[in-house]
Amino acid sequence: MSFFKTLEVTETTDKKSADWSNAEHVRCLIIGSGPAGYTAAIYAARANLKPVLYQGMEAGGQLTTTTEVENFPGYPHGVTGPVLMEDIKAQAERFGTDVRWGEVTEADLTQRPFKLLADGAPILADSLIIATGATAKYLGIESENKFKGAGVSACATCDGFFYRDKVVAVVGGGDTAAEEATYLAGLASKVYLIVRKPYLRASKAMQERVIRTSNVEVLYEHVTKEITGTNVVTGVTLTKRQGETDEQDVKLAIDGFFVAIGHKPNSDIFAKYLNMDEIGYIKTVPGTAKTNVPGVFAAGDVQDSTYRQAITAAGSGCMAALDAERFLAE
Ligand code: NDP
DSSP letters, 45-68, are: HHTT---EEE-BSSTTGGGGG-SE
Whether 16 has a pLDDT exceeding 70, the answer reads no
pTM score, whole prediction: 0.74
* Residue-wise pLDDT tens digits, 293-310: 999 999 999 999 888 789
Asked if residue 43 lies in contact with residue 321, where contact means CB atoms within 8 angstroms, the answer is yes
What fold characterizes domain 138-259?
FAD/NAD(P)-binding domain (3.50.50)
Domain ranges of the chain: 11-135+263-329, 138-259
Q: φ, ψ for residue 47 (rounded to 5)?
A: -90, 10
Name which residue leads in pLDDT, 248 or 61: 248
What is residue 239's three-state secondary structure? strand
* Residue-wise pLDDT tens digits, 105-124: 999 999 999 999 999 999 99
134 CB within 6 A, ligand 1: no
Measured between alpha carbons, how far is 213 from 190 in angstroms, rounded to an integer? 10
Where residue 200 falls (left for φ over 0; alpha for ψ -120 to 50; beta otherwise) is beta
Q: ∠ CA 44-96-71 to the nearest 5 degrees?
A: 65
Residue 159 is a catalytic residue: yes
* Minimum-distance ligand 1 atom for the alpha carbon of 70: 41
* Residue-wise pLDDT tens digits, 131-190: 999 988 999 999 999 998 899 998 887 788 899 999 999 999 999 899 999 999 999 999
Ligand 1: centre distance to CA 173 (Å): 6
Whether 253 has a pLDDT exceeding 80, the answer reads yes
Residue owning the nearest CA to atom 29 of ligand 1: 308
CATH class name, domain 11-135+263-329: alpha beta
What is residue 312's three-state secondary structure? helix
Task: Assess whether the region 11-135+263-329 and the region 138-259 belong to the same CATH fold.
Answer: yes
Average pLDDT over the chain, rounded to an integer: 92
What is residue 200's three-state secondary structure? coil
The best mutation among 223, 227, 308 to test binding of ligand 1, ranked by most ligand atoms within 8 Å of the C-beta, falls on 308
Which candidate in 28, 159, 175, 255 is catalytic?
159
